[in-house]
Amino acid sequence: MDIIGMARASGMAVILDGRIGREEYQSVCGSLSALQRFADAVRQGAVQQSGRQKRTTPPARKA
């Protein structure tokens, strides 16, 4: 899940994008309505990801 891309698509701005050693740092800011759109997008992404996992899992065998 590309959460930085989702934040941008929700109207948030990436104000820090850097790397120190192996660690990446990214900060975002935005309005409360942008935060709500981001939360909705994350929730929808989780639901879609969960649905894909359920469909790709083979049925359990009975012993």
Domain boundaries, the chain: 3-52
pLDDT along the chain (63 residues), means of 10: 91 92 94 97 90 66 63
pLDDT of 55 reads 58
How confident is the model at residue 54, as a pLDDT?
67
In this predicted structure, what is the pLDDT of residue 63?
A: 58
26-60: b or e for each residue (b if 16 or more CB lie within 10 Å)? Answer: eebebeeebbebbeebeeeeeeeeeeeeeeeeeee
User: Global pTM?
Assistant: 0.68
